[in-house]
Amino acid sequence: MISYEKLLKIPLKEIKDIDISMLIEEHGVICLTDFYTKNEIDELNEIYNHLQKFIPIIQKNNEFSKVRQIGSNTIGTYLTHKTDDIILHLRPDGKLRYDISCNKFFKPLPKMIHINNLIENLFKNYNSKCIVDQGIIVSRPKSERGDWHRDNNRRRHTSTLNSIKTELCPRYITILIPLVDFIFENGTPEFIVNSHNDSEINLNKIIKKNENKKTIRDFIDLNSIIIMTGRIVHRGMGNNTNKDRPTIWITYYLE
């Protein structure tokens, strides 16, 4: 049986006396628990459902063009809207995998100010403008496992196995907001331990170095958020249930 390292989990009420930036630098990924109330989760689901209904409508208006095809058949095709407000990620069969940028159509998220305050210290030593993108992950039942990758500025380049030379952003933070419990059966994400400290830009080499080592993978409760640096190598796992695994994500990176 495969065993995994546990994710560092911190209750929201305990973070006042904790340096979040130090923890991100040290661990690459952490989880804040007891972050959202039931009413706030209901509000998040309303936002997600609104986007779910809206995306197919705009997808039919023929105002999208293909951005790039990335080698793996699990990655699919990226489409960008003519306004550049939305980027869609399609599976090889043409169905929506997830939309990458849809800021213009997002309603304000609950606790967004609180989240921004958490992130602010991570960027305080940089003079560049911080860009914020938001989107949703649509993990359908029986969806396949994703590729190992690092998060990066999706508007310009990507960081997958097929990107031999990828320039990493000096600072990139991703927040995942689960709208259901993340469990092993529905594809809770997997992280390569300490890969955020590896300056190697060829992901195949990082994976080779770590193939016999434990990875981080853990249960994530519905009211939690995951905060990770874009440098950590990770992947979404397959959803082997008969229900969606909806997620809202937010990214912060330097222009």
Among residues 168, 153, 160, 192, the alpha carbon closest in space to that of 74 is found at 160
Is residue 80 in a domain? no
Helix (H) or strand (E) holding 88: strand 87-90
User: Model's pTM, two decimal places?
Assistant: 0.86
**Domains in the chain, number:** 1
Strand 9-11 to 29-33 pairing: parallel
Is residue 51 in a domain? no
Is residue 95 in a domain? no
Is residue 61 in a domain? no
Q: What CATH number does residue 237 fall under?
A: 2.60.120.620
Per-residue pLDDT of the chain in tens (255 residues, 90 and over written 9): 467 999 999 999 998 878 888 899 899 999 999 999 999 999 999 988 887 777 777 667 666 666 554 433 344 566 666 555 666 766 666 666 655 566 766 777 889 888 888 887 777 777 677 888 888 888 888 888 888 888 876 555 444 444 444 455 668 899 999 999 999 999 999 999 999 999 888 888 999 999 889 999 999 999 999 999 999 999 999 999 999 999 999 988 876
The CB density around residue 210, as the number of other CB atoms within 10 Å, is 17
Is residue 52 in a domain? no
Is residue 64 in a domain? no
> Which residues does residue 98 pair with via DSSP β-bridges, in sequence order?
89, 137
Q: How far is CA 130 from CA 76, 116, 161, 171, 172, in A?
A: 28, 11, 26, 9, 9
Is residue 174 in a domain? yes
Q: Is 183 helix (H, G, I), strand (E, B) or coil?
A: coil
Return d(Cα 148, Cα 210) in angstroms, integer. Answer: 12
The boundaries of the domain holding residue 182 are: 9-43+111-254
